[in-house]
Structure 1
Amino acid sequence: MEERDVEVTGIITAVIIGLIVGALGRLVVPGKQNIPIWLTILIGIVAAIIGTFIAAAIGVDDTRGIDWIELILQVALAAGGVALVAGMRGRRP
């Protein structure tokens, strides 16, 4: 597989994971979040990346089966990001 194919696959994977993590984060936050879906995906991608780095730093990034702690970190970060951005967008004049 060429290096370019790996980069494209990595980007597509990041978007899919970001969509899932962002959606889960949005579901965790109570109330209505008045933010567009593209921003939810972006928050999810950033949360997935940061959550992976944190999981690696504490040594729980590579476990047998599903990496539940890493997933919980990612969703919690996405929920925090969604709440923060929704709160900021809600206060606009």
Structure 2
Amino acid sequence: MPFINECAVEACSYNVGSACHALAITVGDPPHARCDTYFVTSFEGGDPAATGQVGACKMADCRHNSRLECQAPGIAVGPGREAADCLTYSPR
């Protein structure tokens, strides 16, 4: 599973210091490559010792996607069309 190299979505409960601490995220709700794991609450979530990874990607049209699994060496998440988008998404 590729690592989330950077998350620039400060409001997400899994983000601490621009690092995602969700064990795994899901990307996409076609036709948009949003981070489906994005979550805002008053407390921090995830495992502080873990670096988030991409567990599933529903963006079958992405050049990094093979059988709904991300094959990119790593991804970046940040503000885009939605509050938290996969900035590595690239249509074929």
| Bin of the TM-score, shorter chain as denominator length | under 0.3
More helix per residue: 1 or 2? 1
Task: Decide which structure has the larger Cα Rg and report it.
Answer: 1
TM-score, scaled relative to structure 2: 0.27
